[in-house]
Structure formats: structure tokens, C-alpha cells
Amino acid sequence: MRNLVASLPVCALALMSISPASASDCLNNPDALGVSRVLEINTSDGPRFGTLQYKKTLDLGPKEVVLTFDDGPHPKNTQRVLAALKKECVKATFFPVGTMVQNYPDTLQAISNDGHTIGTHSWSHPNIGRMSMARATNQIERGFRTINAVVDQQIAPFFRFPGLNDSKIMKAYAAKRGYAIFSTDVSSDDWRGIGANTIIRRTMSRLHQKQSGIILFHDTKYATAAAIPALLQALKKGGYKIVHIVPEHTYGAVKSADAGADAAEQATVAELTTPRKSDGTSAVSMAKH
């Protein structure tokens, strides 16, 4: 089965405007970087992308890059990132954290309004690779359901493990659920507390070696927000092209596949993703008695 297909949008992608945003589309910036093409991803068999950890990455040509942002939304820094992307008519993929989304839902909606792809980065950003399956499942599913509920359009079934800390059992779980897992090809190292100029220098140096790939940033970082405008200029000057990744089917379509699971599996997911009451029980468990 094909994992990837470069194509124009299909009806399932009504959640976002995914026509390539060429420089000519930027009314206030005719020299904008824009989006060269849209890459549609079939997540049905749980593909994994990013050569830092996995055997393959996205089907990108020479000098094609995908911009991704983790850990947000942040009320100030994410907005600055969005402004820089909008100025260049660039689309990115955001992997927000559930607890951050609860605190800043309007910022997540702004990401959606600008036509970016939204995946998830867990509920509270723990080391999922060291968790029991029950706790890890809770982190993944609660993250998806919370983030999907906040925006007025369907998110993508795209997931990135916090800290890139995966596990064999949870990779298999994601594949069964139809979630695409994203690692990276090029790290900006912005999580290390480095300055904007260092972020740009390291990113471009590593990208020059790879020539294409997924780039990982964190939109919670002040230095990252400061670096993005100049980094986009460096990409443009270097002849790089932006690819916007979108799902063939939205999270809603994947979620509906719960109906195909056996009753025990459905009950387990419902139990794990139901908010706990003060006495430690859940609404689901109470309903059973």
C-alpha cells in the first residue's frame, strides 16, 4: 500500500486549505518563499518518518523541506512564529501538547485558521518510552482527543513522541490505530537553549548535508520565534522549497475506526481517556456499577 502520494486535496481534507501557496499568492510579499507542493500522507498502516530514528523519511526531492514545531502552543512565541510563516506564505505542521492546548486554545485555533497541519505531541509530554502501555495509551489518546476538540476543524492523525522517546510496543499501537509517527531528519537544537543565530547556523549546516528532510523546531522557544524570519530567508536564498504535509484522512476518520475494535479494546481506550474524578474513579467506571 502506498504511504505517500503527492496530490491535490481531497474532500476529506476540508479541515484546511491545502492548495500550494506560491509566492504570487502573497499579496503583500510577491517574493515570498511560499509552498512548492502539498504531500498527502496515508496513515492507515502507521508509517514512521525521519531518518534520525527510522529507516525512511517523507518522499521529498532534493532541496525540499517540511517545517515542524513541537511543544506549543505558546501565547507569545507561537504567534510570532505564525506571523513569520504568514509573511512568507509558508505552511508548517504543529505537534502541540494537550496541557498547553488547554491553557491556550485560542492560539491553537490561530494555527488552524492559518491553514497549518495540526498533529499531536501527547497529553503532558512525558517519556512515553518508559511508561506502561496503559499510561502511554492514555497520553496518546487523551492528547489526540483533547487537541481535536479544541479547534473547529479536524486535526491530522500525526504523532510525535515527546523527546522522540518511542517504544516498540507503542509504535505497534500507533500502527494499529492508524497514526503516522514523525521523528526528524534535521534537528535545529533549539531545545538546548541556544540563541537565534546558532539555531539558524546549525539548521542550515545540517540541511546542507542532508539536502532535504523534516526539520524540527519548538514554537515555545523565544529564540526559535526570533530565528524563523531569518531562517526562512536563508532557505529561500539557498534554493530550498517548502512542502506542506497533510493527511489523506483526518483524525475523525481514524477515530471512527474504534467501531471496528472489539468491545474490550473500546472500553479500555474510553476508560483511559476519561477524566478522573476526585475519588480516583472515572465516569466510565462509575457507569459500569
| CATH number assigned to the domain comprising residue 75 | 3.20.20.370
Q: How many domains does the chain have?
A: 1
Q: Is residue 205 part of a domain?
A: yes
Q: Is residue 137 part of a domain?
A: yes
The per-residue pLDDT for 254 is 86
The per-residue pLDDT for 20 is 62
Mean pLDDT (the chain) is: 86
Tell me the pTM. 0.84
Its sign, for the CA torsion 176, 12, 91, 38, is: positive
Q: Does the pLDDT of residue 1 top 80, yes or no?
A: no
Q: How many residues does the chain have?
A: 289
The per-residue pLDDT for 275 is 53
CA-wise closest residue to 94 among 10, 159, 45: 159
Q: Does the pLDDT of residue 6 top 60, yes or no?
A: no
Its sign, for the CA torsion 80, 86, 90, 95, is: positive
Q: Is residue 40 part of a domain?
A: yes
Q: Is residue 152 part of a domain?
A: yes
In degrees rounded to 5, what are phi and psi of residue 77? -70, -40
The per-residue pLDDT for 280 is 40
**The three cell numbers locating residue 219:** 514554537
271 band by pLDDT with thresholds 50, 70 and 90: low
CA-wise closest residue to 221 among 16, 48, 74, 47: 74
Residue 181: domain span? 4-269
Q: What is the mean pLDDT of residues 43-71?
A: 97
pLDDT digits (tens, 9 = 90+) for 79-122: 999 999 999 999 999 999 999 999 999 999 999 999 999 999 99
